[in-house]
Amino acid sequence: MLKPDQIPAHIGARRQSMPINNLTDKGKSLKHPAAKAPKIFADTGTIEEIHPLREAGIINGVTTNPTLMKRAGATSWQMAKEMMQEIVTLMAPYPVSLELTELQAEKMISQAEELAAYGDNVVIKVPVGGYGAVDSTLDRHTGLKVLHALWRRDIQTNATLIFNSTQALFAAQAGASYVSPFLGRLADYMYKHDRVEMPAGNALYYLEDHKGGKENSRTDNTPYVATSGARMDAGVRLIHEIAVIFANYDVTTEVLAASFRNGVQIPECLLCGADILTIPAPLLMGVADHPLTDEGMRSFVEDSKAFAS
């Protein structure tokens, strides 16, 4: 398996041509020190989850989907639209992905135009495929056709439900601004179908050893230390494959790693060349925590009592 120092140099070189992610406010002379840091999005439909993350400067974008909107309390399309509009306004100028619910190309394009009118930061999320699976009369290329039509209309898109690099390449080819490989769902699948003796498993084995049959004592696969770029996760390996292919051909469609299951996947995806991570809000809430930070804070606070009087 590749280690971080074996990552092709052109993945790094591609980053140089990518956009500035953290903007400096107008009139401020203290420039943002991490202008080209990866974009970190919150994967949520709940405005209350977005507020604290935005205040902490942790996120510079949001992704939603119908499941997240339903979980956030939307009980009608009208209600979902109002909630999405609120998120778009709160997050401007940072991107917010809003997923289409229509399934026929023309209706999808009209729906996309309606949602895109909420703000310049709207990105339209289009499932890359699966249309034939939900309705056998639908065109299997519906997603790609819509991505292409929206590119021609200057509307930014996020091709979602990506599970292999071929889907990612053809979404980019159709004009997608972002592709979203679902690494967690792939890792879930691999966990379910993988065999104990397979040497290249996935990180879920080490963090959530449900079956009890896998080694779970490797500290370099815990969220508490560096991962060493071990790529023990099938989803992470997919991100790497897409990043290499895009870098090989100078594709500027951004690789948006989605469907996170644990903290190990965060640095692993970055080591592999992901441009953006969209992470569930509860996982983002814990990014400043570490058992040694807790211990250090306790002793600093205790010792600072010496200066109390």
125, 192, 211, 214: the catalytic one is: 125
- Give the interface segment with ligand E4P, choosing from 168-176, 178-186, 265-273, 296-304 (CB under 6 A): 178-186
Contact 84, 118 (CB under 8 A): yes
Residue 18, burial from CB neighbour count under 10 angstroms (0-12, 13-18, 19+):
middle
Is residue 184 close enough to count as binding ligand E4P by CB under 6 A? yes
Is residue 253 close enough to count as binding ligand E4P by CB under 6 A? no
Contact 168, 245 (CB under 8 A): yes
Is 167 or 278 the residue whose CB approaches ligand E4P more closely? 278
Closest CA to 266 of 43, 102, 31, 23: 43
Residue 102, burial from CB neighbour count under 10 angstroms (0-12, 13-18, 19+):
middle
Is residue 206 close enough to count as binding ligand E4P by CB under 6 A? no
Task: Fill in the per-residue mask, 63 to 82: x = in contact with ligand E4P (CB under 6 A), - = not in contact.
Answer: x-x-----------------
Query: Dihedral sign, CA of 122, 161, 287, 253?
Result: negative
Is residue 94 close enough to count as binding ligand E4P by CB under 6 A? no
Is residue 202 close enough to count as binding ligand E4P by CB under 6 A? no
Is 105 or 277 the residue whose CB approaches ligand E4P more closely? 277
Q: What is the widest separation between alpha-carbon atoms in the chain?
A: 78
The binding site for ligand E4P (CB under 6 A) comprises 43, 63, 65, 160, 180, 182, 184-185, 258-259, 278
Could you list the active site residues? 125
